[in-house]
Amino acid sequence: MAVGLRPCRRSWQTRDRYTERMANEVEIKFRIADRKALEESLRANQFREKTASTHELNTLYDFPGSKLRGRGELLRIREFGGKWKVTHKAKGKAGKHKSRKETETSIGDGQKLEEIFEALGLKPSFRYEKFRAEWTDGKGDVVLDHTPVGEFGEIEGEPDWIDHVAKLLGISEDQYITSSYAELFQQFVRSSNRKAANMTFAECGTK
């Protein structure tokens, strides 16, 4: 006599975690003119530093012929403070804010995943590093990045919240940047006549 099987249902907690990994990323970048003043402004507006400045190394992967890039997609392995994450970003939407679907999860060993990617025909296409500090007010995040191509901040959260926080920090909409770090790196290479292939401090000759 066959035993009926009950359909498997994810718990609300599991579905919430899945939703978080599949969330739409909405953000803007901006150039930091005075980091100390910006940090003071963040504290004055009830932000707290949840992660002190920490080294981050990112490697983008693609198939031969840059198939992912051609579709406007991104596949990345990130090492941040000894912890690893893998991220896929779908093609984004251009506007006042940068918006794209992001799927991300933690992994135990990024180097092993790199071996798996390469076995599947994926190759490193671009590397970029930075030192990142993370701030939050519990509603969204502001990150401060020291990169080989300059000092940048990012505000990530709901669109209205982004605009509100930008105004609090003295950042006007004409200062919003929606370019990726790969695009900012290409701008740097063109303006400085560097021959760097990756956005690393060693290749860019910056500190």
Q: Stretch 38-48: mean pLDDT, rounded?
A: 98
- Among 61, 103, 37, 51, residue whose Cα is nearest residue 82: 51
Domain ranges of the chain: 23-204
Q: pTM for the complete prediction?
A: 0.86
pLDDT of residue 93: 85
pLDDT of residue 174: 97
Average pLDDT value over all residues in the chain: 91
Question: Using one digit for the tens of pLDDT, what is the confidence trace for 55-97?
Answer: 999 999 999 999 999 999 999 999 999 999 999 999 988 799 9
pLDDT of residue 22: 58
pLDDT of residue 94: 76
How far is residue 164's CA from residue 146's CA, in Å, rounded to a whole number? 24
User: CATH top-level class for 23-204?
Assistant: mainly beta
Q: Stretch 15-25: mean pLDDT, rounded?
A: 56
Provide, rounded to the nearest whole percent, the portion of the chain with pLDDT above 90.
86
- Which is higher by pLDDT, 2 or 166? 166
Q: Would you say residue 149 has pLDDT above 90?
A: yes
Q: Stretch 138-164: mean pLDDT, rounded?
A: 98
Q: Would you say residue 4 has pLDDT above 90?
A: no
Provide, rounded to the nearest whole percent, the portion of the chain with pLDDT above 70.
89
Inter-CA distances, 152 with 40, 64, 98, 184, Å: 16, 31, 15, 10
> How would residue 17 be classed by pLDDT, with cut points 50, 70 and 90?
very low
Question: Using one digit for the tens of pLDDT, what is the confidence trace for 97-119?
Answer: 999 999 999 999 999 999 999 99
pLDDT of residue 147: 98
Q: Stretch 119-145: mean pLDDT, rounded?
A: 98
Q: Which residue has the tokens 């840059």?
A: 66
